[in-house]
């Protein structure tokens, strides 16, 4: 699989120095290889996007909407192949891979609708001062670089690609080197739809390719989803260019369970928040705050639920949770298990790698974790849940907010007035009340504090790729 890069409307062989191995994490074995793009090929991709921008930004909003609907339809036509690839390359259970695909389809369909509703290029602005007229224009930001992660490929790229195309931007997309294959579907769809050459470009590679794109002077904006360590490098490169950036970074999110909550229902929400995608989510609610009055009932039921999760190869078994997606992530989670043993944490469930082929770990629960523990404060990115007890509502809010991250939170309570009050007090970008982590394209996605800059999804996702221009004229 050498022709893995889509540049200026053509599939080309990688000319970089890195060879990328694509692995099946359930087996711990590679099943494909591709050569990374070279720095020169990144230059070519940006140049192609720059050349395509003048024509694409002047395509009517209705024509762009038709293209986005075409992406949604074509994704649906590739349904089984894309679901299987998610299961094989990410280790996702089938039901998760199906939801991911449906999410991507819904995203393109939603931004097609928003594109159709875009106002005309000019809107009059009423002025209090006489003798002048003013109008405003919403214009595309320009050429944008999109760097997406490995935990939700296809989905995260849809969240960026659909609004960027809807706004009239041209794009250079860099998928993760861990999951480089599934985003190739977007290039195939661009070919099928006859998308003008250069509007969408896809370059694969490792750190060298990502750095070449994020540092490129030909970009007008960069949107990145990934770790805080890489995000800070992306932000430095953006600052050197004085260029706008959207960053969707990490989290160490809390789920708060009050003692009036039904314990069995709470267990369902807690397990979903830590085991979905094997806990490899920036939104994983990995800090459990449980009120004293329900803790002794809840924790044993939670322990049993985690112990009973079916963990295995989604291509050959009926599973609730698959493997970790990469060996690097498997080793990282294993190191936190070792840290927990060194700290003497009370392990109620799991706490170990599984003795089988592939990169599997057990769903894990630690109880009464000190606030100073690394497991309480650091993002692990695995199915590792840490629990602490609280007495009062004010204490729960204070503990939930005591984090350098601020992405999401969940509140579980039969007292809806209290749940709404706590939701308002939490310093995060998204709160669920008595729910699993249902994410809808109409809502926003993004966080506060160390969880990033800007918002994706909803109308905010579209405005992230638009520039506002005002024209003021003297009437005298």
Tens-place pLDDT, residues 189-233: 999 999 999 999 999 999 999 999 999 999 999 999 999 999 999
What are the φ and ψ backbone dihedral angles of 346, each rounded to 5 degrees?
-85, 110
Question: What DSSP string describes 42-84?
Answer: HHHHHHHHHHHHHHHHTS-HHHHHHHHHHHHHHHHHTHHHHHH
The one-character DSSP state at 108 is H
Query: Which pLDDT does position 119 carry in this prediction?
Result: 74
Q: What are the Cα distances from residue 15, in Å, to 34, 199, 322?
A: 10, 22, 34
CB distance 224 to 214 below 8 Å? yes
CB distance 427 to 449 below 8 Å? yes
Query: Which pLDDT does position 3 carry in this prediction?
Result: 66
Active-site residue among 169, 177, 183, 282? 282
Instruction: Tell me whether residue 248 is one of the annotated catalytic residues.
Output: yes
Query: Which pLDDT does position 303 carry in this prediction?
Result: 98
Instruction: Tell me whether residue 208 is one of the annotated catalytic residues.
Output: no
- When pLDDT is cut at 50, 70 and 90, the band that residue 2 belongs to is low
Residue 449: strand, helix, or coil: strand
What are the residue ranges of CATH 3.40.309.10 in the chain? 254-440
DSSP β-bridge partners for residue 225? 248
The residue to which tokens 């005309």 are assigned: 120
Q: How far apart are CA 309 and CA 271, in angstroms?
A: 9
The one-character DSSP state at 276 is G
For domain 254-440, say whether CATH 3.40.309.10 is its number.
Answer: yes
pLDDT of residue 132 exceeding 90, the answer is yes
With residue 219 as reference, give the H or E element that holds it: none
Nearest partner of 299 among 263, 346, 345, judged by Cα: 263
Query: Which pLDDT does position 312 carry in this prediction?
Result: 97
Quickly count: other Cβ atoms within 10 Å of residue 411's Cβ.
29
What are the residue ranges of CATH 3.40.605.10 in the chain? 5-249+451-474
The residue to which tokens 């094997």 are assigned: 278
Architecture of the domain made up of 5-249+451-474 = 3-Layer(aba) Sandwich (3.40)
pLDDT of residue 277 exceeding 80, the answer is yes
Active-site residue among 177, 248, 379, 399? 248
Buried b (16+ CB within 10 A) or exposed e, 36-45: bbbbebbbbb
Q: Which of 89-103, 228-242, 259-273 has the lowest mean pLDDT?
A: 228-242
- Give Dmax over CA atoms of the chain in angstroms: 82
pLDDT of residue 56 exceeding 60, the answer is yes
**Residue range 441-447: average pLDDT?**
97
């Amino acid at each position: 699989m050498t022709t893995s890069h889509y540049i200026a409307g053509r599939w080309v062989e990688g000319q970089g120095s890195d060879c990328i191995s694509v692995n099946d994490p359930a087996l711990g074995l590679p099943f494909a290889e591709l050569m990374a793009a070279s720095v020169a090929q990144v230059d070519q991709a940006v140049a192609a996007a720059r050349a395509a921008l003048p024509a694409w930004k002047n395509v009517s909003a209705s024509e762009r909407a038709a293209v986005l609907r075409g992406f949604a339809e074509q994704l649906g036509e590739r349904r089984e192949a894309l679901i299987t690839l998610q299961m094989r390359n990410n280790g996702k259970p089938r039901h998760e891979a199906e939801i991911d695909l449906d999410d991507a389809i819904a995203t393109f369909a939603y931004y097609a609708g928003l594109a159709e509703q875009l106002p005309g290029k000019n809107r009059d602005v009423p002025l209090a001062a006489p003798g002048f007229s003013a109008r405003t224009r919403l214009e595309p930001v320009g050429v944008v670089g999109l760097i997406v992660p490995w935990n939700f490929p296809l989905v995260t790229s849809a969240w960026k690609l659909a609004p960027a195309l809807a706004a009239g931007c041209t794009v250079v997309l860099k998928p993760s080197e861990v999951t480089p294959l599934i985003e190739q579907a977007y290039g195939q769809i661009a070919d099928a739809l006859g998308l003008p050459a250069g509007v969408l470009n896809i370059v694969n590679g490792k750190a060298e390719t990502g750095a070449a794109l994020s540092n490129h002077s030909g970009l007008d904006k960069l949107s990145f989803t990934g770790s805080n360590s890489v995000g800070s490098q992306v932000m430095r490169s953006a600052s050197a260019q004085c260029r706008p950036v959207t960053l969707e970074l990490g989290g160490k999110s809390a789920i708060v369970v009050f003692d009036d909550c039904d314990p069995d229902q709470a267990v369902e929400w807690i397990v979903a928040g830590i085991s979905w995608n094997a806990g490899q989510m920036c939104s994983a609610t990995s800090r459990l705050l449980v009120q004293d009055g329900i803790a002794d009932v809840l924790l044993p039921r939670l322990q049993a639920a985690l112990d009973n999760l079916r963990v295995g190869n989604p291509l050959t078994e009926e599973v609730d949770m698959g493997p970790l997606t990469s060996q690097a992530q498997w080793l990282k989670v294993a190191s936190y298990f070792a840290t927990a043993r060194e700290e003497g944490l009370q392990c109620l469930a799991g706490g170990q790698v599984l003795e089988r082929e592939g990169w599997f770990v057990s769903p894990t629960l630690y109880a009464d974790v000190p606030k100073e523990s690394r497991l309480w404060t650091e993002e692990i990115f695995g199915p590792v849940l840490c629990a602490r007890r609280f007495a009062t509502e004010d204490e729960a809010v204070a503990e939930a907010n005591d984090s350098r991250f601020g992405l999401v939170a969940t509140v579980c309570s039969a007292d809806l007035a209290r749940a709404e009050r706590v939701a308002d007090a939490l310093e995060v970008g998204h709160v669920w009340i008595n729910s699993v982590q249902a994410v809808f394209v109409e809502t926003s996605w993004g966080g506060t504090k160390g969880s990033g800059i800007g918002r994706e999804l909803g109308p905010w996702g579209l405005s992230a790729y638009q520039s506002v221009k005002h024209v003021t004229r003297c009437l005298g």
